[in-house]
Amino acid sequence: MERKIYLENTPLEKAINMFFEKAEGYIKYRKTEKINSQDSLGRMTASPVFAHLSSPHFHAAAMDGIAVKAEKTFKATELNPVRLKKGVDYVEVDTGNPLPEGFNAVIMIEDVVSVDNETVEIIQPAVPYQHVRPIGEDIVATELILPTNHKIRPWDLAALLAAGIDFLEVYKKVEVGIIPTGVELVPAGTVPEIGQIIEFNSHFFAALVKEWGGIPHSYDIVPDEYEVLKKTVEKALSENDFVIINAGSSAGRKDYTSKLISEMGELLIHGIATKPGKPAILGFIQNKPVIGVPGYPVSAYFVMDFFVKPLIAKLNFQQLPYAKKIEAVISRRVVSSLKSEDFIPVKLGKVKEKIVATPINKGAGVIMSLVRADGVMCIPQHIEGIEAGEKIKVELWKSLESIENTVVCIGSHDPLIDIIGDLLSSHYSLFSLSSAHVGSMGGIMALKRGECHAAGIHLLDAETGQYNIPYIKRYLKDNEVLLFHLVERIQGFLVQKGNPLNIKNFADLIRPEVTFINRQKGSGTRLLLDYKLKESGIDSKKIIGYNREEFTHLAVAAEVKAGSAATGLGIMSAAKAMGLDFVPVCSEHYDIAILKEYMNLESVKAFIEIIRSREFKEKAEGLGGYNTEKAGILYYEG
């Protein structure tokens, strides 16, 4: 076993400086092209643009009316109107018409009295050149229309055409080669087998490159073979301004990227002090930048953001738009490494006049953490972590307005929450739902800390056998809380089709051949399990897998589906969704708790309306395992 194990740990800022200092020489010599002005929207001028024609290029009527010779009107007064003869003393003109030869002023139609078909009367003299658009009023031939390095907007394009400029010189758009590598990859659109992974990163990168103003060119997937990769890199370099090699950037056995860059050109950096993003590779071949981007999509995103985004901007001679940042309160403690600068996607919500940021640090492989993120926070290298309640700066990924219009619902996981969110945003385009699955107790604590508007909870009180109310009384006694029914739902064992191990009740869980997958502490389902185990006098230590935790019903179902656990406790819709069988155990109350003070928010009102709607009830019943009879009924105020 021989592998290169250790990467460098270059601080991000240093890496950026080294990279762009070296890239400067290449950036300077940008290619230009002549394009039709009609196609120039969004392009950057590469040289100053001067007008070819004046606009207007003749004296033109600026009003609808009559063109006159001003000197013939000088004597007109209300008492002594002047009569003008058509064709001799006046000519009818519309706005934009050229002033006929020998005429030098325009009288508005409103000030003209028609006498007969050939004669009009006026009662005021015309000043020479009144209501005339003089030649060059807008543009004078030879004047500067646009300077160098100017991004062409719609009105610039209009001015170019008005000035008779049919072609102009712009910078060529940056072309970026994207090479996906890895034997395990299959193209998007293929159904992957075990061990195969859908290659989506090249599409992800291409979309980013497009958004950042470049033209992406993706190449076929390169298996992990040095010579094939080398040929592809050579081709991509000849066809693009710079090249991105995806994956092959960590220190695994078949990771050739850094070796290849070293041999073909110069390897500048391999390994930066960020998390995620550490295995980034920066180098140059034939003076062109070559960037090795890690395979995990969240790592990949940040490496793209750190290096590819500013590189495209520089090559396009455009300023990077300043990232919009806001101050937010962090909702839970985040531990950070002293070895790296940490970049963490966060969800944002506005609750009680403060913006609350909830970190989504699920690891570099979870693309959904970007999908669910509303922004990104950064923890500098020398800081060990941030405590809950501390203020942090967050780079915004959506508008502050849309964050203010978001209902934040934190608590137990149920697919119904997603359905409510979808109905909310499809019926109220202003509003959206942001949900986080932290278990029922997590939801109650989030309500208490003012970090969410609503919490989905199903907490069974072991002493009273009552749902939710005892917990609200205990933990939210200082708040005015409204409790709404959402559904009664059936909990049961998720098992393989046909229930091959014949799992029927809690006692079956301690059979040696039965492996279990559990939910996390603080979830209602975990409480239910512990309540039932205690009731049946079963020792949880005897359950194989009791300590393996998942955060959602669907994740539990997926584990059972994959065979890594024989069963788990969960809801029927999850079993149905994953094609599993379901052994009902009991039903429970799943409620929505809302602080009373939030009920005057339009977004929260809409949220309740959705829960009460026929459409929601139908969709919920359609999933199976839910009774929605009381959905939306307020049944407790505390």
Site for its own copies in 109-138 (CB under 8 A): 109-110, 112, 114, 117, 120, 128-129, 133-138
Residue whose CB is less far from its own copies, 308 or 386: 308
Mark 171-210 with x for binding to its own copies (rule: CB under 8 A) and - for no binding. Answer: -----------x-x---xx-xx-xx-xx-xx-xx--xx-x
Q: Which is nearer to its own copies, 413 or 589 (CB)?
A: 413
Give whole-number Cα distances, 390 to 381, 393, 409, in Å.
Answer: 17, 10, 21
State in angstroms the smallest separation of the CB of 149 from its own copies. Answer: 5
Instruction: Report the candidate in 430, 428, 434 with the shortest Cα–Cα distance to residue 455.
Output: 434
Out of 159, 272, 303, 376, name the contact with its own copies by CB under 8 A: 159
Q: Minimum CB separation from its own copies for residue 38, in Å?
A: 5
User: Of 96 and 389, which has the nearer Cβ to its own copies?
Assistant: 96
Q: At 554, phi and psi to the nearest 5?
A: -65, -35
Q: Does 164 bind its own copies (CB under 8 A)?
A: yes
User: What gap in Å lies between CA 305 and CA 293, rounded to an integer?
Assistant: 11
In the complex, minimum distance from the CB of residue 182 to its own copies, in angstroms, rounded to a whole number: 8
In this chain, which stretch among 266-274, 327-335, 360-368, 529-537 interacts with its own copies, using CB under 8 A? 360-368
Return the residue of 5, 28, 78, 614 that touches its own copies, per CB under 8 A.
5
Stretch that binds its own copies, among 142-150, 280-288, 349-357, 594-602 (CB under 8 A): 142-150
Least distance from its own copies to the Cβ atom of residue 138, Å: 5
In whole angstroms, the minimum distance from the beta carbon of 120 to its own copies comes to 7
In the range 396-425, which residues lie near its own copies by CB under 8 A?
A: 399, 401-402, 415, 418-419, 421-422, 425
Q: DSSP letter string over 364-380?
A: TT-THHHHT-SEEEEE-
Q: Virtual CA dihedral for 193, 198, 199, 201, nearest 10 degrees?
A: -150
133-162 in b/e form (b: 16+ CB < 10 A) is: bebbeebeeeeebbeeebbbeeebbebbeb
Structure tokens at 229: 């990769």
Alpha-carbon dihedral of residues 527, 531, 537, 541, nearest 10 degrees? Answer: 0
Tell me which residues in 34-93 interact with its own copies (CB under 8 A). Answer: 37-38, 41, 48, 53-59, 62, 64, 92
* Closer by beta carbon to its own copies, 95 or else 287: 95
Retrieve residue 146's tokens.
């646009």
Q: Identify which range of 157-165, 446-454, 459-467, 584-592 contacts its own copies by CB under 8 A.
A: 157-165
3-state class (DSSP) for residue 635? strand
Copy the structure tokens of residue 82.
């002047």
Render 91-107 in DSSP notation, one character per residue: EEE-TTPBPPTT--EEE
> Which of 254, 343, 248, 339 shows the shortest CA–CA distance to 291?
248
What is the total count of residues that contact its own copies (CB under 8 A)? 125
Span 272-331, contacts to its own copies by CB under 8 A:
295, 297, 301, 317, 319, 321-322
Q: Which of 16, 35, 140, 264 binds its own copies (CB under 8 A)?
A: 140
Q: Which of residues 532-551 bind its own copies (CB under 8 A)?
A: 548, 550
Which 449-508 positions form the footprint of its own copies (CB under 8 A)?
none
Cβ-based nearer residue to its own copies, 197 or 633: 197
Residue 222 CA to residue 231 CA, distance in Å, equals: 10
Minimum separation from the CB atom of position 102 to its own copies (A): 12
Closer by beta carbon to its own copies, 145 or else 569: 145
Q: Which residues contact 93 (CB under 8 A, 6 or more apart)?
A: 61, 64, 65, 66, 67, 99, 100, 106
Write out 35-94 in H/E/C secondary structure. Answer: EEHHHCCCCEECCCEECCCCECCCCEECCCEEEECHHHHCCCCCCCCEEEEECCCEEEEC
Q: From CA 567, how far away is CA 472, in angstroms rounded?
A: 31
Q: What is the full DSSP assignment across 314-353? A: HHTT-PPPPPPEEEEEESS-EE--TTSEEEEEEEEEEETT
Convert residues 509-528 into a mask of x (bound to its own copies by CB under 8 A) and - (unbound). Answer: --------------------
Q: Is 487 helix (H, G, I), strand (E, B) or coil?
A: strand
- Pick from 121, 143, 263, 390 the residue near its own copies by CB under 8 A: 143
Specify the stretch interacting with its own copies by CB under 8 A; choose among 362-370, 472-480, 481-489, 597-605: 362-370
Query: Which residues in 228-267 contact its own copies (CB under 8 A)?
Result: 250-254
- C-alpha dihedral over 59, 64, 69, 70, to 10 degrees? -100
- Indicate which single residue of 11, 81, 98, 450 sits in contact with its own copies (rule: CB under 8 A): 98
Tokens 């950057």 belong to which residue? 44
Q: How far is the CB of 190 from its own copies (least distance, A)?
A: 9
φ, ψ (nearest 5 deg) of residue 326:
-130, 165
Touching its own copies, residues 566-595 (CB under 8 A):
577-578
